[in-house]
């Protein structure tokens, strides 16, 4: 798995060394030597990962990271701070600035490449979600909810058979989150199917295989996207590397530092909420792309695609498909006499009555304005006529309440019915025949159903 990596360091020798190591592993490497240039390149080139030195003149790595993470166009890019400083305060400061991880000089090649692979996988997911989000935005659909993207108030599952260590972690996290301790890996997997924002696993547990638990969590559909922090002994490099290969999102060295724990948990929960937010926006975008916002019925775009497939099937010997085209009589008078808000109430109530009078397999849609269509698979014209008349009677029999129930309106509809003719028929011709039935119904007095057999 390759990636485009931006290396930022004011020392030329350090830049060249990192560039050589990464290039040998077939990574595409860009370089620069100051923070301002790094911020500009991050926005212009959109690298997959940024390896950022902390100690630079002018704008240091902390401020550079902060600016990259503050920009909506670059905040999704993983940033790894590289420093000769191994102090606790520097790690906390870097994580609070938004850094995704720390590497300490001299760099361990195995840990470096494990980190890069792990962050590359994350970036691929983020890019796909952001691309889908942008597709939704181009459709004019945008689900608001950025206020939920904070890193506090998370539900944290701590899986550890070392109860003293687990309790210390829980006590620290209680200040911001809702931690739960679990010592049984099977119970932990069951719990992870719920609404968990973060799982912390002691991969060196004595009574269970922590690495196997990580692998099982990553393979399960319900917990695949859940962030996992692995607690590892600093001298246990093989287990650390294996945990990263299995897909843990971050590493906590034992004994766990309370401030580092808080910062890393906050970062992972914020990232999860961001990805969840993008997925929710995608689902919302897809729903809005096929749904009429006012009535909740499917829209014309969705209906057209479904009708095309059903007509093609009927043309090749499949079951016939019927359509009902219906128009609300004198709807302009409703808007003119009572206002567009009352007109919207009529449309919404009509959509409810329509949906409750068709079969589960039928497809009620708002075609546009006061015109509605029902696509009816496997339906002959006499059955379609019967259902259309049932809808007509339900609409006309009970007045519509508008303006908060202050006014009632007697509403009627004119309905045209048509059924597919077999080979050579088209969706456009089918709809036109039904539409002609609507015109005839209106011309002969309204509040009636006219079927067009051919």
With 0-12 / 13-18 / 19 or more C-beta atoms within 10 angstroms meaning exposed / middle / buried, residue 12 is: exposed
* pLDDT surpasses 80 at 399: yes
> Would you state the pLDDT for residue 276?
79
Higher per-residue pLDDT: 84 or 107: 107
Average pLDDT value for the chain:
88
Which range is least confidently modeled, 257-271, 328-342, 361-375? 257-271
Percent of residues, the chain, with pLDDT higher than 70: 92
Q: What's the CA angle centered on 91, arms 240 and 153, to 5 degrees?
A: 85
- Written as six digits, the tokens of 196 are 């968990």
Confidence class for position 113, pLDDT limits 50, 70, 90: confident
Q: Quote the DSSP letter at residue 444.
A: T
pLDDT in tens, 153-210: 889 999 999 999 999 999 999 988 999 999 999 999 998 887 899 999 999 999 999 9
> Would you state the pLDDT for residue 282?
64
Phi, psi (degrees; rounded to nearest 5) at 123 = -65, -35
* pLDDT surpasses 70 at 293: yes
The answer to whether 24 touches 2, Cβ cutoff 8 Å, is no
How far is residue 377's CA from residue 419's CA, in Å, rounded to a whole number? 10
The answer to whether 247 touches 228, Cβ cutoff 8 Å, is yes
Q: Give Cα separations from 293 to 99, 145, 351, 404, 427 (angstroms).
A: 40, 19, 12, 20, 24
Instruction: Calculate Rg over the CA atoms of the chain.
Output: 31
- Written as six digits, the tokens of 128 are 């796909």
Contacts of residue 115, defined as CB under 8 A and 6 or more positions apart, other chains included, come to 80, 101, 103, 244
* pLDDT surpasses 70 at 74: yes
* pLDDT surpasses 90 at 366: yes
Strands of 198-202's sheet, edge to edge?
178-182, 155-159, 198-202, 228-232, 250-253
> Would you state the pLDDT for residue 133?
63
Instruction: Compute the average pLDDT of residues 110-135.
Output: 75
How far is residue 453's CA from residue 384's CA, in Å, rounded to a whole number? 11
Instruction: For each of the domains in the chain, give its residue range(s) and CATH number, in order of start.
Output: 1-142 (3.40.50.2300), 143-286 (3.40.50.2300), 300-452 (3.30.70.270)
How far is residue 101's CA from residue 94's CA, in Å, rounded to a whole number? 8
Concerning whether 370 is annotated as a catalytic residue, the answer is yes
Q: Which of 182, 345, 349, 370 is catalytic?
A: 370
The answer to whether 206 touches 166, Cβ cutoff 8 Å, is no
Confidence class for position 146, pLDDT limits 50, 70, 90: very low
Q: What's the CA angle centered on 214, arms 152 and 148, to 5 degrees?
A: 20
* pLDDT surpasses 90 at 121: no
Q: What's the predicted TM-score (pTM) here?
A: 0.58
Confidence class for position 145, pLDDT limits 50, 70, 90: very low
Confidence class for position 150, pLDDT limits 50, 70, 90: low
Higher per-residue pLDDT: 230 or 107: 230
In the chain, the largest separation of any two C-alpha atoms, in whole Å, equals 89
> Would you state the pLDDT for residue 101?
81
* pLDDT surpasses 80 at 147: no
pLDDT in tens, 227-269: 999 999 988 989 988 998 898 988 888 999 888 888 888 878 8
């Amino acid at each position: 798995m390759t990636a485009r990596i931006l290396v930022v360091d004011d020392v030329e020798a350090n830049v060249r060394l990192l560039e050589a190591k990464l290039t040998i592993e077939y990574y595409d490497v860009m370089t620069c030597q100051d923070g301002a240039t790094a911020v500009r390149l991050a926005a212009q080139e959109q690298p997959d990962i940024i390896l950022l030195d902390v100690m630079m003149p002018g704008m240091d790595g902390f401020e550079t990271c902060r600016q990259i993470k503050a920009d909506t166009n670059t905040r999704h890019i993983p940033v790894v701070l590289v420093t000769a400083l191994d102090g606790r305060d520097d790690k906390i400061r870097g994580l609070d600035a938004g850094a995704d991880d720390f590497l300490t000089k001299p760099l361990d090649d195995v840990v470096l490449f494990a980190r890069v692979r792990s962050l590359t996988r994350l970036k691929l997911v983020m890019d796909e979600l952001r691309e889908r989000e942008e597709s939704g935005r181009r459709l004019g659909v945008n689900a608001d909810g950025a206020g939920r993207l904070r890193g506090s108030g998370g539900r944290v599952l701590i899986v550890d058979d070392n109860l003293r260590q687990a309790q210390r972690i829980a006590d620290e996290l209680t200040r911001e989150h809702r931690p739960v301790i679990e010592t049984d890996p099977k119970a932990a997997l069951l719990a992870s199917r719920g609404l968990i924002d973060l799982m912390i696993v002691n991969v060196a547990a004595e009574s269970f295989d922590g690495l196997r638990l990580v692998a099982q969590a990553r393979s399960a559909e319900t917990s695949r996207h859940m962030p996992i922090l692995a607690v590892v002994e600093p001298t246990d490099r093989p287990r650390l590397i294996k945990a990263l290969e299995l897909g843990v999102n971050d590493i906590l060295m034992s004994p766990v530092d309370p401030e580092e724990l808080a910062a890393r948990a906050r970062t992972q929960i914020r990232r999860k909420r961001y990805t969840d937010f993008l997925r929710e926006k995608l689902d919302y975008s897809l729903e809005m792309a096929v749904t009429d916002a006012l009535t909740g019925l499917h829209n014309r775009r969705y209906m057209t695609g479904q009708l095309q497939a059903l007509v093609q099937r009927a043309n090749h010997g499949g079951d016939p498909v019927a359509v009902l085209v219906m128009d609300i009589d004198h709807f302009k008078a409703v808007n003119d006499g009572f206002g567009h808000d009352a007109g919207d109430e009529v449309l919404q109530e009509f959509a409810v009555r329509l949906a409750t009078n068709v079969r589960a397999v039928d497809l009620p849609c708002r075609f546009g304005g006061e015109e509605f269509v029902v696509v009816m698979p496997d339906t002959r014209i006499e059955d379609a006529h019967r259902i259309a008349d049932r809808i007509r009677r339900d609409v006309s029999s009970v007045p519509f309440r508008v303006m908060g129930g202050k006014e009632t309106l007697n509403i009627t509809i004119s309905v045209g019915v048509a059924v597919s003719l077999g080979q050579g028929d088209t969706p456009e011709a089918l709809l036109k025949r039904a539409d002609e039935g609507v015109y005839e119904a209106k011309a002969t007095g309204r509040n009636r159903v006219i079927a067009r057999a051919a």
